[in-house]
Structure 1
């Protein structure tokens, strides 16, 4: 048997953390002395603790690790493999985002060294006035928190595509998102996911056509905030007023783009002349 101190030293986990893991049910001492309360761990528990440490190094939360540990032995390997695949995708997405940020920083540094203002990129965002045609859209409308967006886009668009395939509906365009909330709320925003189709069925509605200020964002979705700011500035400067919710049309499929730079997103602001 190993004392809690010995176990702590071997696994490089503090005794305070081991007590917390015991409280939340991750790993319990194999034995507790009833007289003095000393905690002891068996040699066999070293492997379990190392497994917990390994999952933590993969950025699994303690709740996720607990759920994995509680899996039945017959299904544990399969479920663990699926969980690792999901976590690897999450980490790769974060790495891609960090790589994009590094490239952006390098570009800003180079421009500053040449005497070019850091925000001069806004001048390169083009805005045009276009007339859009009405669309029949299959839609789902949800209140989405800022943390839900990444997963939500895949979930709701997948459901829409599944309905299109099941009912043999006719696609007329790429996915789009309409933002109905009058202000940004991290706790939840009124978001509509939609795909243009030909047929009028349950779950479709008309998206009116009309005059729109339009811009095209190429690159990471984090760049969309700049595009929105540029569009709003243009609308004000040119004497127009917003008449409906802004929306985005995803020209490229995020699942098919290998790097953030490959994303192409059209942003539309429905407007009228003041």
Structure 2
């Protein structure tokens, strides 16, 4: 048997952390002395603790690790395999995001060396006034928190695509997201996912034609806030006012794009001329 101190030293986990793991049911001491409360771990538990550490190193949460440990007890290698592949994808996406951020920093550093203001890139965002055509859209509308967006987009669009395939509907365009909330709320935003289709069936509605201020982003979705800011400034400067929910049309599929710079997104703000 190993004392909690010895176990802690071998596995490089503090005794405080081991006590917490005991509280949440992650790994319990093999034995607790009833007289003095000393905790002891068996040699066999070293493997389990090393497994937990390995999963933590892979950025699994403690709740996720608890689930995986239960799968291990049931010899469910298939679930572990799926979990590892999903985590691998998440980490790769984070790496890509960091690489893109690094490129932006390098670009800003070079511009500053040349005396170019850091925010001058906003001047490169072009805005134009367009008349859109009405669209019949198959839609679903949800309240999504900021944490839900990444998973939510794929999930809700997938459901719409499944309905189109199942009911043999005619797809006429690329995915659209419409933002109905008047202000940003991390706890939840009124978000509509839509696909333009030919048929009018249950779950469809009309997206009417409108006069819109439009901008096109060629780059990562993280840059959309800059596009929104430039659109709002243009609308104000040109004497228009925002009259309906803004929306985005995704001309490229993020799963088919190798680098964020190849993403193409159109942003529309329905507007009207202010009364003079």
Q: Which TM-score band applies after superposition, normalised by the shorter structure?
A: over 0.9
Which residue in 2 is equivalent to 1:36? 36
Paired residue total: 274
Q: Is the 8 A contact 2:145 2:187 kept in 1?
A: yes
* Structure 2 Cα separation of the partners of residues 83 and 69 of structure 1: 12
Alignment of 1:258-269 (within 5 A): 258-269=258-269
Which residue in 1 is equivalent to 2:11? 11
* Structure 1 Cα separation of the partners of residues 24 and 126 of structure 2: 54
Which residue in 2 is equivalent to 1:83? 83
1:255 match: secondary structure = helix
Which residue in 1 is equivalent to 2:113? 113
* Structure 2 Cα separation of the partners of residues 24 and 241 of structure 1: 54
Residue 49 (1) aligns with residue 23 (2) = no
- List alignment gaps of at least 5 residues for structure 2: none
**CA deviation after TM superposition for structure 1 residue 76, in Å:** 2.1
- List alignment gaps of at least 5 residues for structure 1: none
* Structure 2 Cα separation of the partners of residues 169 and 216 of structure 1: 28
**TM-score, normalising length: structure 1:** 0.98
Alignment of 1:180-199 (within 5 A): 180-199=180-199
Alignment of 1:145-184 (within 5 A): 145-184=145-184
Alignment of 1:202-221 (within 5 A): 202-221=202-221
Q: Is the 8 A contact 2:71 2:77 kept in 1?
A: no
Question: Alpha-carbon deviations, 1:93-151, whole Å to 9, x = none?
Answer: 11111100000000000000000000110100011111110000000000010110000
**TM-score, normalising length: structure 2:** 0.98
Moved over 3 A (4+): 72-75
2:261 match: secondary structure = helix
**CA deviation after TM superposition for structure 1 residue 63, in Å:** 0.7
1:13 match: secondary structure = coil
